[in-house]
């Protein structure tokens, strides 16, 4: 049989890992933060202070208004959504009627004997929060003292501003092309800049959005990547920060970390950080940490505050869990200021954005454990990653998890072992909302010992050669190179194609819809059982990549159905292979799908009890019945086999049209 294969060549370029964009949180220096900022509070002495939803004000710096309109519109559309989320989620007790920030001292700050804080030689003309100048309206009056003045503290300079009413926290938003933006990887960064005096709660912070990386992508991309990034940065300013841990308080408002006589926590000059107590973070040593070369000993820094512990134990279903690991890689902004990516992959407060960002109960619990906030847990988003996987998942290495699963011939999910290759064999994300790939790649250099996670990879020739296997790892460094299933997009020039099934803008044009996919509200990712081919009497064409696609799925009380064009295929059992040829638009489309489990789609939620519970015998019976009911497909029959190979060169132009350089691109927000 002479079948002509025209394969559309898509060049897939994996972005070099160094180009991953990750959160570049940098703890502010001690002198960049104003501590113990005091505002008159008539309610201060009332015993039972009612908690109210936090009131957040956004102040846009002129650099935001000066952005191209398209970009500033995105900023001004997204920030209110982020504000709204945190206002609904967090509550504070110690509100003041009018919030005024402290101006920045020209030189040293001095605290007088009776506790008045005063600037030696007065205040700077303009005070900053991060890189943003604070409007004079937001400032208190300067209090100054002079050398040899016996610490007499006197008001000086302009009168206090009118302040911010109905405000518990003000965020200054800028979009300057700063040094930190110039590395090309940083999307945004944020931190607190002032803490109030009664509880050390942050009352002001800033965020800078790097203008070059701002505002590209589809509207759904803005919502799925930009918004969670802003919400993430917000939390660094509100409490999730290595430079705020030392200020955390217990439920009764007592400091958790030791304080000096003046009320400050102890400053560690070597780390450039205030020291936190081991009631907050504790190092835990694990001596039997399994990696490819055997058992090693590793130290993990764990957040052990009570609400975090409760939520994590319940999420992972591991009642003996000692704490939640903090990120170990990166500098002191990535490390220690995010959850460990290996164990909380798509949780919003991990250090890189990979996909489907979720603010889980664990992160909200940390906000509660600051002692500054009460939280509304019903605002938490559902985290599927690691749910109920038990202590083996959360307390052992991914090497150990993957090995055990492979030995028992079960799916190593949420990790994966399929090497990302050409052609790209795609998969489905865990929630089946998107096409995805396994991010297992080969590195030029061997990974360091603690990150070597393979003694064999199914299907790989090198098996047994530990030197060769040492080069394989997941593409996400912060996940300790553990490979996992990840969503992806194609990038063609400035266009990008994403593969979230429920977004109809991802629908390919008819001509390129090789696997007869459907994108829309009721679409779910389904695995292919074979490479899809489309043929007429001259040629057979196939898409270079295959493995999965998006299809309309629905259920009734007895079965799950997959719809392809106008044809409906019934699934009798999970894993069933459905093969067919469908004629449409002048081509025979030959394809195959693998029936998903019913829980793969929320659309079948209410019909769980009936869906795909068939026993194998039953299945065979029903299968026979279904076979008879298969719709009749009109298929083009050719008088002769598709014409021989010389057509390939004659039809060169087709190939040219489709030789599109596409970039395989993973998103790494901040």
Ligand X SMILES: *[C@@H]1O[C@H](CO)[C@@H](O)[C@H](O)[C@H]1NC(C)=O
Active-site residues, by number, are: 233
Within 585-638, strands assigned E span 587-594
Any contact of residue 60 with Zn ion (CB under 5 A)?
no
Please choose which of Zn ion, ligand X, none residue 25 contacts, taking the beta carbon within 5 to 8 angstroms, the exact cut-off set by kind. Answer: Zn ion
User: In this chain, which stretch among 201-209, 262-270, 290-298, 307-315 interacts with ligand X, using CB under 6 A?
Assistant: 290-298
What is the helix (H) or strand (E) element at residue 75, kind and residue range?
A: helix 69-89
Q: How many CB atoms lie within 10 A of CB 282?
A: 14
CB-based burial, 533-564: b 16+ in 10 Å, e otherwise: bbbeeebbbbbbbbbbbbbbbbbeeebbbbbb
Please choose which of Zn ion, ligand X, none residue 376 contacts, taking the beta carbon within 5 to 8 angstroms, the exact cut-off set by kind. Answer: ligand X
**Cα-Cα-Cα-Cα dihedral sign, residues 542, 543, 549, 554:** negative
Nearest distance in Å: CB 27, ligand X = 31
Nearer to Zn ion, 91 or 207 (CB): 207
Give the count of residues interacting with Zn ion (CB under 5 A): 2
Q: Are strands 540-542 and 5-7 parallel, antiparallel or unpaired?
A: parallel
Please choose which of ligand X, Zn ion, none residue 290 contacts, taking the beta carbon within 5 to 8 angstroms, the exact cut-off set by kind. Answer: ligand X
Q: How many CB atoms lie within 10 A of CB 581?
A: 15
| Position with the least CB separation from ligand X | 288
Nearer to Zn ion, 189 or 499 (CB): 189
Please choose which of ligand X, Zn ion, none residue 467 contacts, taking the beta carbon within 5 to 8 angstroms, the exact cut-off set by kind. Answer: none
Nearest distance in Å: CB 24, Zn ion = 8
Q: Which of 255, 198, 175, 228 is nearest to 346 (CA)?
A: 228
End-to-end alpha carbon distance in the chain = 53
Helix-then-strand count for the chain, H and E: 13, 39
Sole binder of ligand X in the list 175, 194, 241, 290 (CB under 6 A): 290
Any contact of residue 374 with ligand X (CB under 6 A)?
no
DSSP 77: H
The Cα–Cα gap between 335 and 330 comes to 5
The Cα–Cα gap between 395 and 226 comes to 32
Sole binder of Zn ion in the list 21, 23, 123, 358 (CB under 5 A): 23
Any contact of residue 379 with ligand X (CB under 6 A)?
yes
Nearest distance in Å: CB 383, ligand X = 14
Under rule CB under 6 A, which residues in 385-404 are in contact with ligand X?
388, 390, 396, 400
The Cα–Cα gap between 512 and 658 comes to 9
Nearest distance in Å: CB 87, ligand X = 9
Residue 438 Cα distances to 435, 457, 487, angstroms: 11, 13, 9
Sole binder of Zn ion in the list 25, 79, 247, 339 (CB under 5 A): 25
Can you give the length of the chain in residues? Answer: 670
Sole binder of ligand X in the list 250, 288, 465, 504 (CB under 6 A): 288
User: In this chain, which stretch among 226-234, 346-354, 372-380, 490-498 interacts with ligand X, using CB under 6 A?
Assistant: 372-380
Tokens at 462, concatenated: 């090198």
Please choose which of Zn ion, ligand X, none residue 23 contacts, taking the beta carbon within 5 to 8 angstroms, the exact cut-off set by kind. Answer: Zn ion
Nearest distance in Å: CB 290, ligand X = 5
| Residue 447 burial by Cβ neighbours in a 10 Å radius (0-12, 13-18, 19+) | buried
> What's phi and psi for 590, nearest 5 deg?
-105, 125
Q: Are strands 267-268 and 202-209 parallel, antiparallel or unpaired?
A: unpaired
Give the count of residues interacting with ligand X (CB under 6 A): 14
Nearer to ligand X, 431 or 570 (CB): 431
Any contact of residue 88 with ligand X (CB under 6 A)?
yes
The Cα–Cα gap between 111 and 422 comes to 66
Nearer to Zn ion, 226 or 289 (CB): 226
Any contact of residue 170 with Zn ion (CB under 5 A)?
no
Please choose which of ligand X, Zn ion, none residue 317 contacts, taking the beta carbon within 5 to 8 angstroms, the exact cut-off set by kind. Answer: ligand X
The Cα–Cα gap between 80 and 56 comes to 10
User: In this chain, which stretch among 17-25, 243-251, 313-321, 423-431 interacts with Zn ion, using CB under 5 A?
Assistant: 17-25
CB 56 within 8 A of CB 124: no
* Coil, helix or strand at residue 243: coil
Q: Which of 462, 441, 453, 449 is nearest to 404 (CA)?
A: 453
Nearer to Zn ion, 478 or 489 (CB): 478
Per-state percent for the chain, helix, strand, coil, to nearest 5: 25, 30, 50
Nearer to ligand X, 297 or 650 (CB): 297
Please choose which of Zn ion, ligand X, none residue 156 contacts, taking the beta carbon within 5 to 8 angstroms, the exact cut-off set by kind. Answer: none
Nearer to ligand X, 124 or 389 (CB): 389
Please choose which of Zn ion, ligand X, none residue 355 contacts, taking the beta carbon within 5 to 8 angstroms, the exact cut-off set by kind. Answer: none
Please choose which of ligand X, Zn ion, none residue 295 contacts, taking the beta carbon within 5 to 8 angstroms, the exact cut-off set by kind. Answer: ligand X
Interface positions with ligand X (CB under 6 A): 53, 88, 288, 290, 294-295, 317, 376, 378-379, 388, 390, 396, 400
Interface positions with Zn ion (CB under 5 A): 23, 25
């Amino acid at each position: 049989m002479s079948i002509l294969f025209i394969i559309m060549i898509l060049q897939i370029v994996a972005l070099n890992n160094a180009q991953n964009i990750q959160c570049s949180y940098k703890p502010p220096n001690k002198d960049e933060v104003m501590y113990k900022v005091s505002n008159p509070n008539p309610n201060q002495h009332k015993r039972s202070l009612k908690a109210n939803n936090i009131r957040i004000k956004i102040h846009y710096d002129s650099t935001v208004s000066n952005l191209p309109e398209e970009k500033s519109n995105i900023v001004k559309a997204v920030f209110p959504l982020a504000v709204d989320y945190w206002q609904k989620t967090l509550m504070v007790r110690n509100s003041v009627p009018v919030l005024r920030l402290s101006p920045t001292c020209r030189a040293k700050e001095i605290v007088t004997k009776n506790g008045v804080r005063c600037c030696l030689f007065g205040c700077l003309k303009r005070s900053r929060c991060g890189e943003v100048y604070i409007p004079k309206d937001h400032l208190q009056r300067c209090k100054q003292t002079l050398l040899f003045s016996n610490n007499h503290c006197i008001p000086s300079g302009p009168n206090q501003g009118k302040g911010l009413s109905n405000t518990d926290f003000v965020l200054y938003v800028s979009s300057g092309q700063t040094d930190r933006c110039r590395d090309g990887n940083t999307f945004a960064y944020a931190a607190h800049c002032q803490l109030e005096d009664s509880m050390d709660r942050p009352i002001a912070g800033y965020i800078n959005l790097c203008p070059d990386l701002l505002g590209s992508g589809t509207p759904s991309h803005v919502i799925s990547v930009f918004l969670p990034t802003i919400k993430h940065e917000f939390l660094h300013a509100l409490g999730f920060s290595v430079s705020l841990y030392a200020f955390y308080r217990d439920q009764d408002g007592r400091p958790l970390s030791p304080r000096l006589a003046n009320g400050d926590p102890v400053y560690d000059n070597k780390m450039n950080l205030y020291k936190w107590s081991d009631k907050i973070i504790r190092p835990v040593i694990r001596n039997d940490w399994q990696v490819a070369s055997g058992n090693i000993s590793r130290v993990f820094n764990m957040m052990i505050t009570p609400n975090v512990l409760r939520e994590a134990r319940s999420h992972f279903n591991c009642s003996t869990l000692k704490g939640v690991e903090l990120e170990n890689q990166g500098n002191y902004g990535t490390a220690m200021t995010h959850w460990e990516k290996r164990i909380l992959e798509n949780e919003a407060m991990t250090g890189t954005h990979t996909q489907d960002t979720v603010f889980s109960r664990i992160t909200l619990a940390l906000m509660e454990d600051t002692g500054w906030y009460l939280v509304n847990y019903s605002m938490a988003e559902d985290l599927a990653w690691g749910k109920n996987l038990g202590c083996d998942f959360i307390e052992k290495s991914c090497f150990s998890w993957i090995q055990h699963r492979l030995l028992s011939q079960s799916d190593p999910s949420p990790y994966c072992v399929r090497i990302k290759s050409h052609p790209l064999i795609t998969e489905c994300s865990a929630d089946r909302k998107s096409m995805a790939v396994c991010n297992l790649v080969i590195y030029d250099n061997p990974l360091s010992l603690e990150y070597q996670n393979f003694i064999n990879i199914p299907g790989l020739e090198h098996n047994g050669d530990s030197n060769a296997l040492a080069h394989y790892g997941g593409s996400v460094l912060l996940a300790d190179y553990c490979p996992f299933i990840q969503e992806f997009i194609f990038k063609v020039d400035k266009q990008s194609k994403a593969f979230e099934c429920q977004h109809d803008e991802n629908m390919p044009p008819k001509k390129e819809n090789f696997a007869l996919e459907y994108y829309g509200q009721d679409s779910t990712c389904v695995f292919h059982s074979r490479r899809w081919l489309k043929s007429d009497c001259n040629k057979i064409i196939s898409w270079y990549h295959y493995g999965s696609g998006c299809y309309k799925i629905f259920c009734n009380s007895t079965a799950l159905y997959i719809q392809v064009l106008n044809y409906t295929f019934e699934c009798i059992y999970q894993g069933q292979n459905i093969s067919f040829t469908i004629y449409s638009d002048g081509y025979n489309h030959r394809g195959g799908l693998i029936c998903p489990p019913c829980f793969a789609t929320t659309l079948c939620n209410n019909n769980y009890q009936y869906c795909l519970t068939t026993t194998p015998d039953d299945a065979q019976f029903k299968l026979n019945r279904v076979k008879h009911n298969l719709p009749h497909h009109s298929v083009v029959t050719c008088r002769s086999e598709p014409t021989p190979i010389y057509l390939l060169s004659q039809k060169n132009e087709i190939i040219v049209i489709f030789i599109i350089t596409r970039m395989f691109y993973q998103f790494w927000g901040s």
